[in-house]
Structure 1
């Protein structure tokens, strides 16, 4: 019986499989170790099995408040970025005006400015607006997004221009054309912006560290820093349990958003 040559294990295929196996081990290895250690080591450092370390996390930090703050801030940032990126991307792509190219270049240039450079001016502006040490201080500066604007502009450029021309013939203005024609077609692109924004701001640590002071306004990554004191007592399981808790929502969002993310990337590549 002749074997299918497409299924034969050639040296090239074996090498690719080996490289992918190593990359998978390096990627998933720390995650598996973190989950396993949080479940197999007791709070006092002795071997054991159970969820005792997770109970210690609940006892040591206001987990419910931290999760609520993170969910609220992250959701508002993601929704705000989706709205601003869609509107700005549509204007740059479909509404011609003088200086659009130069303005778009300025928007792209902001992507090359590190966050550490702008955090002091942002802090001064937030304090001047009376929003210091509030959750709005974390939301408002994060709503504009240069990357999302660039992504949505490219997405709108890939959509047929005849759709806008047909809407204009029917008497629709730019805003009506956007809301009724282009915005529904850009849903996969908006899904990409929303998912990326959620994952970024859910794990964000630097801005909450600078812009918030009160513990009631801490987000989850900042609040879990208090668990570092357990490292001195050998209770590494408690720290790792907090890490697992912070990973779960981002993992759930990624799994649920995998399909629209894949469709958005494929549609963008096709266009």
Structure 2
């Protein structure tokens, strides 16, 4: 009987310790959630201000003290964006250029990564290191030889002037190659023993395994070219061929005298497509970036 009482007391003490631990973990989780909520609000506050200002009346954009939320919702600012500039054409141009760059870049980068990770040839690692050295060269340094080459090819004021130089990016090759290095060579050997060709191994065996790295590279490449302002400013002259970042400068008006609410309405609309791409690829970001640093 005494042993039962002792067991009951021990069981009761364990229950108390578990309850105290649960309470402590719950309190800590509440503090963590509150901290993350505050940080999320601070990070999202610029976007909230952009959306809020895009819905204000133009006269309320510079009111003091500034209001967080608009008092009168004015959706005419979004209509003004399409009335003042061919906004749909700008979106189409940016979407066309960015998607073609992503497709070509993934095709070239994945094949180069396969060569650097799965094919043994003399000087492979040295060539790869020299290739990565291109990451240290700013794009502004190479813009003059690019312009000379593009002009001699007769591609000035065409979208190909933006697409062709952007197809090769050492960062994309590096990320895909690093994930391929984590794949065991037994997959290749088994496929070769079954009579598979090198291209079949690349397309059917290795490429599906590195989809997270491809997704991350695709998102990064798309957003970088979607937001690019410098190269379209150099290569494009015709108003109808301009990309979204370049064409939206018309909304600012002469000496920046444009309607701020309409400008931020255009900015809000320009965020929709990159946001969709990010939502599609965000679950692969951590996996792809982590795998990219496992083996060099």
TM-score by length of 2: 0.83
Contact 2:252 2:258 in 1 (8 A): no
User: Cα offset for 1:30?
Assistant: 0.7
Cα distance per residue 1:35-74 (max 9 Å; x no partner)? 01101x2245576313111111101110111000000000
Cα distance in 2 for partners of 1:85, 1:259 equals 21
Structure 1's 162 and 213: CA in aligned 2 closer, same or farther, altered over 3 A? same
The residue that corresponds to 1:151 in the other structure is 175
Cα distance in 2 for partners of 1:45, 1:8 equals 43
Q: Which residue of 54, 57, 66 corresponds with 1:42?
A: 57
Is 2:169 the counterpart of 1:168? no
Is 2:48 the counterpart of 1:29? no
Structure 1's 237 and 159: CA in aligned 2 closer, same or farther, altered over 3 A? same
TM-score by length of 1: 0.90
Q: Which residue of 228, 240, 251 corresponds with 1:216?
A: 240
In structure 1, stretches of 5+ residues that fail to align are none
Q: How many residues align?
A: 267
- Specify the structure having the higher radius of gyration (Cα): 2
The residue that corresponds to 1:6 in the other structure is 25
Cα distance per residue 1:131-164 (max 9 Å; x no partner)? 1110011100000010011111111111111010
Contact 2:93 2:244 in 1 (8 A): yes
The residue that corresponds to 1:90 in the other structure is 114
Structure 1's 113 and 267: CA in aligned 2 closer, same or farther, altered over 3 A? closer
The residue that corresponds to 2:227 in the other structure is 203
Cα distance in 1 for partners of 2:205, 2:126 equals 27
Cα distance in 1 for partners of 2:178, 2:35 equals 33
Cα distance in 2 for partners of 1:231, 1:54 equals 22
User: Cα offset for 1:79?
Assistant: 1.1
User: Cα offset for 1:24?
Assistant: 2.4
Q: Which residue of 68, 77, 80 corresponds with 1:56?
A: 80
Cα distance in 1 for partners of 2:181, 2:258 equals 56
Q: Which residue of 266, 272, 294 corresponds with 1:248?
A: 272
The residue that corresponds to 1:130 in the other structure is 154
Cα distance per residue 1:196-243 (max 9 Å; x no partner)? 111111111111111111112100010001111188556210111111
Cα distance per residue 1:92-125 (max 9 Å; x no partner)? 0001111212211121100010011011111111
The residue that corresponds to 1:78 in the other structure is 102
Helix, strand or coil for the counterpart of 1:117? helix
Cα distance in 1 for partners of 2:164, 2:147 equals 12
Structure 1's 96 and 226: CA in aligned 2 closer, same or farther, altered over 3 A? same
The residue that corresponds to 2:4 in the other structure is none
User: Which shows bigger deviation, 180-189 or 111-120?
Assistant: 180-189
User: Which shows bigger deviation, 245-254 or 260-269?
Assistant: 260-269
User: Cα offset for 1:128?
Assistant: 1.1
